[in-house]
Structure 1
Amino acid sequence: MRYRDQPSIEVTQRVHCDVATAWRYVTDITVPARCSAELQSVEWLDGADRVRVGARFRGRNKNDAIGVWETVCEVAEVEDERRWVWNVLGHEGAIASWGFEVEPTGDGVLIRQWARMGPGPSGLNIAITAQPDKEARIVARRLAEWQQNMQANLDWIRSQVEGVE
């Protein structure tokens, strides 16, 4: 697994609610900060207050292996009540893309959160450059961290909507 191949990860959760309810949760940018072991806080920037193309927000992160850092993200796509995507911005463009999708089902919705690394270099590239022979392991470990946090997001949304723990 190579960073330059823009690896991705996806988590899906079936939730018993309507599309509008699911959409309200997945477009609340503070949800991941409530659930993530890494994302500490999120705030809208430049007067933005909702998910719309071009809106920007800042995330503050902390990871024992990586340290403390901030990112600025920009909403890149919005299909109302269906899908929204944001890019994490770096010095050379997007260093990652993230998204939420809501798909109606017969008994509720399917909520999907996904993330893709790159194409621009990120802090992960420092570790890869220092240990190029371990690139696959470094990338896989980071994807596993993302997956764990995304699963926590979707489990929390389900608990809020369905009242289950």
Structure 2
Amino acid sequence: MHDAEGLRVRCEVRVRADPARVWQLVTDIHLPARLSPELQRAEWLDGADRPALGARFEGHNSNPLAGDWRTVSHVVELDERRVFAWAVTDPDGRYGAPAQDLAQALAFWRYELEADDGGTLLRQSMRGGPGRSGVTVAIEQRPDRKEAILAYRRDELRRGMETTLQGIKQLAEETGG
């Protein structure tokens, strides 16, 4: 088990919009780049143009402490208007040997939607590991700071998720979002 496996974050928001509308937004992989402080852009790979089990997309990220990096994500769960989840891999070997194997994913991300009193309860979650990530590298360099590193990254991810969820909420609740 890598230390980053202890990294888990979950946020939620109530949206005054039908799950079908919220689903359109959470499955648009280009949208988080407009909202997230870390994801800069995303593109479908292999000719895909929408989520499907096994579909892949490339993400380009930037962080003031970690710099810029590329990931490839694989859609691992898709339940129409309920769950959209993907595993993030390190194709360039930024954190060790290049990995496309989902058993070595550096993180798993998930949106869950639940019809809720005429609207939608939207949850976003992330869990790190089991593969190597920037958190793994940081902990290896400073094992005495493990808890502080995990707490810092959890806070950073939570802030980004809350920003993204609030952006989705605003777009979903606007006419024509």
Q: When the two structures are superposed, what TM-score results if normalisation uses the length of structure 1?
A: 0.93
Q: Name the structure 2 match of 1:98.
A: 109
- Report the CA distance between 1:163 and its aligned residue: 3.3
- Residue 121 (structure 1) aligned with residue 103 (structure 2): no
**Counterpart contact for 1:101–1:113, Cα < 8 Å:** yes
Q: Distance in 1 between matches of 2:5 and 2:39?
A: 25
Letter of the structure 2 residue corresponding to residue 39 of structure 1: L
Cα root mean square deviation, aligned = 1.6
Q: Name the structure 2 match of 1:13.
A: 13
- Report the CA distance between 1:7 and its aligned residue: 2.7
Q: Name the structure 2 match of 1:160.
A: 171
Q: Name the structure 1 match of 2:67.
A: 67
Q: Distance in 2 between matches of 1:148 and 1:129?
A: 25
Q: Name the structure 2 match of 1:58.
A: 58
**Counterpart contact for 1:6–1:119, Cα < 8 Å:** no
Q: Distance in 2 between matches of 1:141 and 1:4?
A: 12
Deviations 1:39-93 (A, max 9, x none): 1100001111111110000111111101111111100011111001100013262
- Report the CA distance between 1:19 and its aligned residue: 1.2
Q: Distance in 2 between matches of 1:106 and 1:135?
A: 42
Moved more, 41-50 or 87-96: 87-96
Letter of the structure 2 residue corresponding to residue 72 of structure 1: V
Q: Distance in 1 between matches of 2:137 and 2:120?
A: 39
Q: Distance in 2 between matches of 1:121 and 1:52?
A: 26
- Report the CA distance between 1:5 and its aligned residue: 4.2
Q: Which runs of 5+ in 1 are unaligned?
A: none
Letter of the structure 1 residue corresponding to residue 109 of structure 2: W
Q: Which runs of 5+ in 2 are unaligned?
A: 91-98
Following TM superposition, where does structure 1 have runs of at least 4 consecutive aligned residues deviating by more than 4 angstroms?
none
Aligned residues: 163
Q: Distance in 1 between matches of 2:159 and 2:30?
A: 17
Q: Distance in 2 between matches of 1:13 and 1:32?
A: 16
Q: Distance in 1 between matches of 2:13 and 2:59?
A: 24
Q: Name the structure 1 match of 2:88.
A: 88
Tell me which protein shows more strand as a share of its residues.
Answer: 1
